[in-house]
Structure 1
């Protein structure tokens, strides 16, 4: 099984995270940021990964440090769990509908982390959550996972639907890209011989 444990402690956050990439989609998440808990639960369920996460952050300041540092920790865990990436499909993409919202998500487990695209969110807040933090999370995750991530809103008016669609789509494409192709189980899917 491809698993990882990450403990990340800074002056701003204290994070403990356990990940099983080959799980059942079960999660226990307490980030201190309610909306992010909901999104990470969806990510785990649709990615069929088991995720346990506790974060104690300086949310009395704002949610920025917790959201970004959780992205770093989760990305680090995904990179550790993938290891050498032998046998993975490597690429995956999906257009995911969430009511009126349609989100394009594509990943390459390239080892070269980056987050690209346009995920325009109409409002600055969803409840008390700052929507600009969605991009902070996705960027931190992609860089530390070593994943090339493209996200694009193709349509959508409701901010909650757009963000929910993005997290669900990320879970599903990660599951597909990280899936093992049995006939290539011992191969690294790159002409370089390393990802």
Structure 2
């Protein structure tokens, strides 16, 4: 289901121009501070469709001729488009307030297709605007409201509007005149933790993962060097990871490493399963040098499991980990995450070799999970 940002134009994307409030010359066009920068980040990093909804009082009348409106409006859209900010649709009501048109905000007459189509996830969508009518529109659509408004006072509200403020204030999730805060709020709510547990007679593994995090991690597997390598995945991919593995280390390291790889693959697959539909890049690749070593990792999150491993180690162990277990870890991850992994490494220092592999793996993951600008399913087959 698609989430939407219904965005007002005047007072939200561009500044209003009192006393007429008609943007009918280029001189009146002044973009809201940082709106282009943060809308670009929203488009590229998040998964919302953008829909513009604006009231333009008397557009097409002598008081506001269309010949004065369209060149300016199209110029605004063109500027936004050059930064990758595309609106899937633009809805403009031309009536005056006294006409009480059902199409005029906060009426939903122009937006009935969104109400009727189950393809849209309105409860997780937002109306962003500077007028109280935008707040009421959010209520009428079943959305939440982000109110372009200073945090320490309310925008001017008519007496009629104030009488219903108590009924709608609970849908206002953010009140601010700062587009950075809008971006940060939307970014934060897009972050979701996924958890997977695997318990056998040999191991007990619990992993918590957040795809678009800050690279924070808490790792406890009982194997110091393995902890260090798993921390590299989190740090360099910006995926937040908490990994707790309790295994039969009194036997050997095999089960702990294998089951950690399986569990990490399972929780990762769970996390990206819906993201695929929202348009992740799918493919990732990275080449990491580390002193004498050079490691490359390429991966495809296309739903098929395959590991191609072209790495040779001359030592039996690094830390307490048998070097044969590194390929087994990635094989376990590939099988559970349902992804292709191609890993190559050359060099003399075995520590540098495996650490650069884990870093390259993290960078490839970071690339593959990014949301593409079109939000299309990343397959010409239409299925992953």
Q: Say if 1:97 and 1:103, in contact at 8 Å, map to a contact too.
A: yes
Question: Which residue of 1 is the match for residue 325 of structure 2?
Answer: 133
**C-alpha separation between the residues in 2 aligned to 1:121 and 1:49?**
28
Question: Which residue of 2 is the match for residue 69 of structure 1?
Answer: 259
Count the aligned residue pairs: 192
Q: Say if 1:2 and 1:82, in contact at 8 Å, map to a contact too.
A: no
- Alignment pair present for 1:194 and 2:383: yes
2:308 to 116, 121, 125: 116
2:291 to 94, 99, 104: 99
Question: Which residue of 2 is the match for residue 170 of structure 1?
Answer: 361
Structure with higher Rg: it is 2
Q: Which secondary structure does the structure 2 equivalent of 1:115 belong to?
A: strand
Q: Say if 1:110 and 1:147, in contact at 8 Å, map to a contact too.
A: yes
Map 1:6-25 → 2, pairs under 5 A: 6-25=196-215
Q: Which secondary structure does the structure 2 equivalent of 1:43 belong to?
A: helix
- Name the structure, 1 or 2, with higher relative contact order (CA <8 Å, separation 6+): 1
Question: Which residue of 1 is the match for residue 231 of structure 2?
Answer: 41
Q: Say if 1:115 and 1:150, in contact at 8 Å, map to a contact too.
A: yes
Q: TM-score, normalised by structure 2?
A: 0.49
Q: Aligned Cα RMSD in Å?
A: 1.0
Q: Which secondary structure does the structure 2 equivalent of 1:161 belong to?
A: helix
Q: Which secondary structure does the structure 2 equivalent of 1:194 belong to?
A: coil
Unaligned runs of 5+ in 2: 1-190
**C-alpha separation between the residues in 2 aligned to 1:146 and 1:157?**
32
**C-alpha separation between the residues in 2 aligned to 1:13 and 1:127?**
21
**C-alpha separation between the residues in 2 aligned to 1:175 and 1:2?**
16
* Superposition misfits of 4+ residues, deviation over 4 angstroms: none
- Alignment pair present for 1:5 and 2:5: no
**C-alpha separation between the residues in 2 aligned to 1:190 and 1:75?**
21
Q: Deviations over 1:11-43 (max 9, x none)?
A: 100011100010100000001111110000011
Q: Say if 2:223 and 2:320, in contact at 8 Å, map to a contact too.
A: no
- Alignment pair present for 1:158 and 2:353: no
Q: Say if 1:122 and 1:158, in contact at 8 Å, map to a contact too.
A: no
Q: Say if 2:309 and 2:327, in contact at 8 Å, map to a contact too.
A: no
Q: TM-score, normalised by structure 1?
A: 0.95
**C-alpha separation between the residues in 1 aligned to 2:267 and 2:364?**
17
Q: Deviations over 1:54-110 (max 9, x none)?
A: 111000000000000000000011100001313111112121101110001101111
Unaligned runs of 5+ in 1: none
